[in-house]
Structure 1
Amino acid sequence: MVIRKHLIYFQMKSGILVYILLFGSLFLTKDATAQDPDNSVTASGVLKEKNGSPVEGVSILVQETTTENKSSSDGRFSVKATRKDVIIFKKQGYNTVIKPATALDNAVVTMIPSLIEAGDDDDVAIPFGVRKKRYISASVSTITGADLPRLPLSSLPNTLAGRLPGLYVQQMGSRPGTDDASFLVRGRSSYNSNQAPLILVDGVERDFVNMDVNEVETISVLKDAASISWYGMRGANGVILVTTKRGSATSTKLTFDVQGGVQMPVYKTRSLNSFTYATLFNQARANDGASPQYPEADLAAYQSGSDPYKYPDNNYVDRFLGDAAPIQRYVATVSGGNSFARYFTLLNVYNQAGLLKGDDNPKYKTNANYRKYNFRTNLDLRVTKTLDATIDFGGRVEEIRYPSAGIQTFMSTINSTPPNAFPLLNPDGSYGGSTLFSANPLAMLNSNGNINDLARTLLATISVRQQLNFLKGLSANALYSYDIQGMYQYGYTQNYARFGYDPSGELVQIGSDENTPLNYKSSAFTGNVRSNDFWIGLDYDKAAGEHTFNFSTRFQRRVLAVPNALDQKREGISNRLSYSFKSRYFADVVATYSGSQEFAPGRRFGWFPAVSAGWIASDEGFFKPLTPVIDYFKLRGSYGVVGSDDVSVRASAFYNYYNRSSDGYNFGTSYTAANGSSEGSLANPYLTWEKAKKASIGFDAKLFKQSLDLSFDYFDEHRDDLLTSDVLPRTIGQSRVQVNQGKAKYSGYETAMSFRKSFNRFTLGINGNFTWVASKVLALNEAANLPAFQSEVGGNVGRVAIFNREGDITYQRLFLVSEGLFQSQEEIDAAPKQLFSTLTRPGDIRYRDMNEDGIINNQDMAATNYSDVPKTYYGFGLSLKYGAFDLSAQFQGVYGRTVSIINVINSGSSANGYLNQFSTQSWTPETASSAVYPRMSLTNRGNNTQQSDFWLRSGDYTRLKVAELGYSFSAGGLRSVHINSMRIYLTGFNLLTFSKLNKLDIDPEIPSSGYNSSYPYVRTFALGVNVKF
């Protein structure tokens, strides 16, 4: 098949290049590590704390070389050196130890925990470089790849939930291959829809959804102006920097990480049986003043199940959604190098099966599935003594399979089709159906074909760094990257006939569809997405006594080409000047001049300045009396202006658009269409970017002999030039033009703590972080005569997410104010007239007459302060280690979040009266005092389906996001089989959820999860083994 040829060709071409890079590096390593045997020594020994506990993962470096090694799980190390060499031992949280190589002959080296902040001497990723954490005055949170859980998930970002202060992570789904996460950094500060941070991998704008945790070195979240102004009008929503692992000058190291497990639904829809459904249907008709649809004899037949063909009773959820689906993850890494070349290579295979339960079809797969193959090779070269180069090459092949009708359509079918609509199979083996419900879910899986979406992605980056010897400390840098993603689609198509019983009891065909043979749908190329990133710049470092200076400048340009759209082009110049005095006082000044093609010529560029300063107060002499308690204390603060160019409602909004179609304008009282062109959206040549003025102040501290880390930040932001609709009359005949007349502000604080203490063979770790954010709309370009109760000015920036039955999302700020349910006709007659239905009855929702005009309609909708973005989000965790065993758990939660359940409670279709399991709690005359929901109705439902606060619920939750139990085998017993370390572990994801939405079977991260068109959220259990050679 064509698509298979593409796949094989891609894999062969990519694999050849990977292995050339890898084994070329191995060859170079072998040649370059040869030493004079008379001068060489082997520095060896074991690294321990004072209590005798081994210290794993210590970097062992040979001074003035690139040779590096790591201590094993039992603390042992061995490294080749010469007799004159000096060996350096470094690890986060410990003081650095320096020993001559000749003193390390099976020696015991004691590692003493550092009396300053853990990781204070480590490199932290900043824009286009790294910096010691001690000298960072901006607000940056970092987590290492080693601290992330090993989970068999297709979306790496989901592992970040609850782990970093200021970062809100929301899982957006669980469909195989589409369980991406959304991010917010310090809440939502704009009411425009896209508030996602900028994401860069190794300095290039890329997502990290499909990365494996084994290729991650660090993930840093940049949150204040000083850290993000480098990105100009791309940084207002925060920045996430991902750095990948690189090789070190050591002997070749091989690692295997293998996992197998299952995924199970967190919630399943509780379906009605046919007897209950028919009973509720009769009640709904009674509420409408109609006679029963199902006589007592039919109800008795449904209850007894005596005739499953005439009186079917289908539980579609149990029949077509499994209780578990397998998942596998295989990862291999190879790393090493020498003074000339260092390499890191990763290969990853991932497979995720779906929960759909179709019958076996010999010609195509009926279940959903996701497969992924990805690889990475990072190569570092010392070309000359002054020239360094990196060559990074990676890619992946992904294939998502799903039913031909689509998973959303299939899920909607099983959640909206009544249990008694038809038998899935008739006595003669034909598919059942009816005139009201023509889609048969069994046939949708078994006899409708499938679709396979294939994406192949290549990522290539080359960079060079040249030291310029005419001025000591000056170097030139350049980077070029090219990414391309090709997308294809292929599959199988087939139609099926449906048959149902007519009033005489005979099977007759429903509709005109016929059974057709299975046809192969040839591959279709759906386009390439290409991106080019380029930057060139200079770095200058200068030390003069106790003064240290650094200056960096970069010219950057990015071009993104998307099929059937205009290219997106951005460029700019970023400059940063850093100063430090006595390694105690430090400051940064950043100035960026950047532009975007989103705006009209002459209005595309702007300046984005920022400043920051820091002071390590604990280094002062007056601080010494406090050092028995406070080991380390740093104050820092920043202020600056950044921007966001993601404001256009359409591409190039500064152009006038015209529609060319068969219909132009409508004329006359009959609205007769006249052929021709018509005007589209109005242009706004003055459109500009959002401007965010950010201020932040905070501190970092280490207490009680380095056992307790604390950090705190207070932040405040004013955002101007937010996009809003201009106030124009409808007589203009066009859609309202978008203008930059909105303003908003937000402020809040975030704090984080971590505690670590060892007691002989027992180690305890506790971590937690907490973020609180409050926002307010300052200006919104509202109509001059808008009633005060409808004004959104003064409310928070968020909106409540409303999911329609097709799964699309809108954001709602205006709601009718509910006042319970009408209990009698007298109450209805005495209340203002509600115009949403032809007839208001007892059991309907009662609304407040906000404008007091005696009638209730959309003019009574009021602005609310509800938001689906939480005001507070937090995370906390616990880790325990005793001997060879380790246990960890991480919780994540939110508070102050509101969700709408209107489309959950009213799920279904008009043909079945939108009846579901919640209908059992609806109003009837007998349940009037305890009813939770309004009355059921088949014909007069308009009053109860309005957007009102009646349907709003708390979206707060606390979730056990990750738990892991592991056992590490003794290194001594593994050496005989040439294994450095081996660990087995059991891990879980989305394990427990505490939420008021549990009783509704709603996952709190997505309000519509588990209903209608949404694939169920899953929890994951997996057993894994990690082996290092």
Structure 2
Amino acid sequence: MKTLMNKKTAATLALCLSMSVAAFGQNQVIHLPQTKASVSTIIKAIEKQTQMSVDFSQNTINLNKTVSLKSKSESLGKLMAQILKDNGNLTYKIVDRHIIIVKADNQGAPAVQQGKGKYKVSGRVLDVNGDPIIGASVMEEGTKNGTVTDVDGYFNLNSSKENPTLDISYIGFTSQQIKARSGATNKITMKENAQNLEELVVVGYGTMKKENLTGSVSSVSSKELAARPITSVKAGIQGLVPGLQVTNSQGRPGEDNASMTVRGVGTLNNSSPYILIDGIESGTMNNIDPNDIESISVLKDAASAAIYGSKAANGVILITTKRGKSGKPTISYNGTFGWQVATGHVERMHSADAAEYLNKALQASDKPIRFTPEDIQKFRDGSDPYGHPDTDWQDLAYQGNGFMHQHSASVNGGNDNASYMVSAGYLNQNGIMVHSNREQFNLRSNVDVKLSDKFAVHTSLSYINNVSSTKYNCLKIW
């Protein structure tokens, strides 16, 4: 009797909570940039501002349809009504953090693109605790025939095969592929994707304990850096870390002098974040090769950066370099090459045209003209290049070929008591302007030795030589 009462109480509370969430969602105001927007734009705004996912099939509604609104700010209920208007017999329901679009006469799972087969396949999708998974995608292998699970985790699917293969997927869970049986209720248990969950909390900042991660932390892995053809660490993390703003003051190779701020300007004088490489303070990122980096962590709020004291007032950037791994020696090489070009130039007015417009401006002011028709003709035909020049300075300045090539090689290995990682890198970068070239050579050696169960020695040696031809060089025109 006690168990029965608990189940009833839990069911009542769950129903009340679901109704409360649905009511709140209906009245929540959504802000749009303009009164006319496509269905796709409105759905993205709803998901971003409500933190709920809109579940539907791309064949169910017209995403390119333009919706006209009375105001830039509308309630969720009115927006959903506009989206579903003239899109067939559709309705929607709010379940937990899902806005599920279904057919008005459909009481089961919403159809994604139901097939017309004669075999009916049904089932239920649960997690390891036996709780239903709402909104899980159920697709028949090799087709577009599919559906999503309803509020109780059930699904119904029509198939042309008696025992079709189904692909079941859901965010945060490991996707599964099962051989379903028609005419029976197939029970599918999905397991959480532990790797994805760890990626949300595991960040590489050396040996710092996990209990110190109490605030906002973003991490960039070596794979993300390797996917970008970068020549500096600042260029590698630009756009990858929310809240980190990287501003380039100039474009000279090796001397971009990029400034960084974490969540805006925090102090009146120096607003740069506190940078540590393998736990050692460093005032810049220019002294490290991007290929030697294992991970970069950005601590953005006071809670996560508090252990570093007042120096962390503007945030902390923790860089961890690659170290040796136990096993046979492994040799790695990474090489890239490419060309850089100016994305665009300012359209230039020729000297003859400029002289004509200046004469017109002087005439309009009742002043004598500056250039005679003979002068303008000399500007135009180039017969007097020194007295009447028509020089394209942009063309003369941007004569650099922009070719660049980068090479990095490393060796790592070791055993349970000692490990090592040795790397060497070379970068040659020609600028798009003459006399703006850069050449870099770097070496790094990371050795770890375990002396006993309580003592270990970690050594990190690095050398980098950056030579730039931009300083003290003038632009040679002739």
Post-superposition CA distance 1:357-392 (Å, at most 9, x none): 5xxxxxxxxx33110001111100011232101011
| Match status 1:374 vs 2:451 | no
- Judged with a 3 Å threshold, the aligned counterparts in structure 2 of structure 1 residues 94 and 212 are, in CA distance, closer, same or farther, namely farther
Equivalent pair of 2:226/2:291 in contact (CA under 8 Å): no
More helix by share: 2
Task: Work out the percentage of aligned pairs sharing the same amino acid.
Answer: 30
5 Å-filtered alignment, 1:952-963, equals: none
Which residue does the alignment assign to 2:377? 300
Corresponding residue SS for 1:230: helix
Aligned CA RMSD, in angstroms, stands at 2.9
What does 1:813-892 align with in structure 2 at a 5 Å threshold? none
1:129 lines up with 2:197 in the alignment: no
Deviation by residue 1:810-852 (Cα, 9 ceiling, x = unmatched): xxxxxxxxxxxxxxxxxxxxxxxxxxxxxxxxxxxxxxxxxxx
* Cα deviation, residue 332, structure 1: 0.3
Alignment of 1:77-116 (within 5 A): 114-115=193-194
Measured after TM superposition, the shift of residue 235 of structure 1 is 1.2
Aligned twin of 2:301:
224
Shift of 1:158: 1.1
1:94 Cα deviation (Å)? 9.5
Match of residue 356, structure 1, among 427, 433, 455: 433
CA spacing shift, 1:284–1:400, aligned 2, 3 Å: farther
Matched with 1:198 is 274
In 2, the alpha carbon distance for the partners of 1:356 and 1:120 equals 42
Structure 1 equivalent of residue 460 of structure 2: 392
Contact 1:218-1:243 at 8 Å conserved across structures: yes
Q: Which amino acid aligns with 1:185?
A: V
Q: Which residue of 2 aligns with 1:238?
A: 315
Q: In structure 1, list runs of 5 or more residues that go unmatched.
A: 1-92, 96-111, 358-366, 411-440, 444-1029
The residue type equivalent to 2:197 in the other structure is A
CA contact (8 A) 1:188 1:195 kept: yes
- Tell me, yes or no, if the aligned pair for 2:359 and 2:371 is still in contact at 8 Å: yes
- State the secondary structure of the residue aligned to 1:252: strand
CA shift digits 1:990-1026 (9 cap, x unpaired): xxxxxxxxxxxxxxxxxxxxxxxxxxxxxxxxxxxxx
SS in 2 for 1:356: coil
Aligned: 1:442 with 2:477 = yes
Matched, 1:258 2:335: yes
User: For residue 208 of structure 2, what is the amino acid of its counterpart?
Assistant: V
Distance 1:278 1:200, change over 3 A: same
Task: Summarize deviations over 1:920-940 as a string: whole Å, max 9, x none.
Answer: xxxxxxxxxxxxxxxxxxxxx
Written as runs of structure 1 = structure 2, the 5 A alignment for 1:703-718 is none
Q: Name the SS of the counterpart of 2:314 in structure 1.
A: coil
* Code of the aligned partner of 1:130: M
**What is the alpha-carbon distance in structure 2 between the residues aligned to residue 304 and residue 395 of structure 1?**
56
Corresponding residue for residue 334 of structure 1: 411
Aligned residue for 2:368, secondary structure, equals coil
Question: CA shift at 1:339, angstroms?
Answer: 1.4
347 and 405 in structure 1: CA distance in 2 versus 1, 3 angstrom threshold = closer
* C-alpha displacement of 1:152: 4.3
One-letter amino acid of the counterpart of residue 436, structure 2:
A
Assess, with a 3 A threshold, how the Cα gap between structure 1 residues 298 and 268 changes in structure 2: closer, same or farther.
same
Matched ranges for 1:935-1014 at <5 A: none
Q: Which amino acid aligns with 1:226?
A: A
Change (3 A) 1:288 1:384: farther
Q: SS in structure 1 opposite 2:341?
A: strand
1:320 has 2:355 as partner: no
Is this contact kept in 1: 2:396–2:477, CA < 8 A?
A: no
State the alpha-carbon separation in 2 of the partners of residues 324 and 150 from structure 1. Answer: 24
Higher relative contact order (CA 8 A, sep 6+): 1
Return the alpha-carbon distance in structure 1 between the equivalents of residues 195 and 311 of structure 2.
Answer: 35
Structure 2 counterpart of 1:118: 197
Which position in structure 2 is the counterpart of 1:975?
none
Cα contact 1:381–1:389 (8 A) shared by 2 = yes
Shift of 1:209: 2.5
- Counterpart Cα distance in 2 of 1:116 and 1:137: 21
1:120–1:269 CA distance, 2 compared to 1 (3 A): closer
TM-score, normalized by length of structure 2? 0.56
- Correspondences of 1:242-641 after superposition (within 5 Å): 242-283=319-360, 285-286=362-363, 290-322=367-399, 324-357=401-434, 367-402=435-470, 404-406=472-474, 410=475, 442-443=477-478
CA distance in 1, matches of 2:285, 2:173: 31
Asked whether the equivalents of residues 183 and 197 of structure 1 are also in contact (C-alpha less than 8 Å), the reply is yes
Deviations 1:15-66 (A, max 9, x none): xxxxxxxxxxxxxxxxxxxxxxxxxxxxxxxxxxxxxxxxxxxxxxxxxxxx
Kept in 1: contact 2:231–2:290 (CA 8 A)? no
**In 2, distance between residues paired with 1:113 and 1:214?**
33
Q: TM-score if structure 1 supplies the norm length?
A: 0.27
Give me the whole-angstrom Cα distance separating, in 2, the residues matched to 1:265 and 1:151: 19
Task: Supply the AA of the counterpart residue of 2:308.
Answer: Y
Q: Indicate conservation of the 8 Å contact 2:288/2:464, yes or no.
A: no
Match of 1:159 among 205, 211, 236: 236
| Alignment-mate amino acid for residue 195 of structure 1 | S
Asked if the contact 2:234/2:285 (under 8 Å) is kept, the reply is yes
- 8 Å contact from structure 2 (residues 278, 319) kept in 1: yes
CA gap 1:294/1:176 in 2 versus in 1, 3 angstroms: same
Distance in 2 between the 1:319 and 1:262 partners?
A: 19
For 2:197, what is the secondary structure of its paired residue? coil
Q: What do the CA deviations read for 1:242-285 (whole angstroms, capped 9, x no partner)?
A: 11111111111111111111111123233321112222333454
CA distance, structure 2, for counterparts of residue 325 and residue 255 of structure 1: 27
**Aligned-partner residue type, residue 196 of structure 1:** S
CA distance in 2, matches of 1:375, 1:396: 6
Q: How far apart are residue 351 of structure 1 and its match? A: 0.6
2:324–2:420 contact (8 Å) kept in structure 1 = yes
Q: Which residue of 1 aligns with 2:87?
A: none
Structure 2 counterpart SS, 1:276: helix
Shift in Å at residue 321 of structure 1?
A: 1.1
Q: Give the Cα separation in 2 of the matches to 1:368 and 1:224.
A: 39
Matches of 1:405 and 1:324 in 2, distance apart? 17
Kindly state the Cα deviation for residue 162 of structure 1 after the two structures are TM-superposed.
1.7
Which runs of no fewer than 5 residues in structure 2 stay unpaired?
Answer: 1-171, 175-190
In the other structure, the counterpart of 1:759 is none
Cα deviation code 1:963-1012 (max 9, x no counterpart): xxxxxxxxxxxxxxxxxxxxxxxxxxxxxxxxxxxxxxxxxxxxxxxxxx
Give the CA deviation at 1:116.
7.5
1:886-915 CA distances to partner (integer Å, 9 max, x unpaired)?
Answer: xxxxxxxxxxxxxxxxxxxxxxxxxxxxxx
Q: Secondary structure at the match of 1:302?
A: helix
1:147 maps to: 224
C-alpha contact (below 8 Å) 1:124/1:130 kept by paired residues: no
1:185–1:237 contact (8 Å) kept in structure 2? yes
1:232 maps to a residue whose letter is G
Change (3 A) 1:268 1:210: farther
Distance 2:229 2:326 in 1: 30
Distance in 2, Cα, partners of 1:264 & 1:115: 44
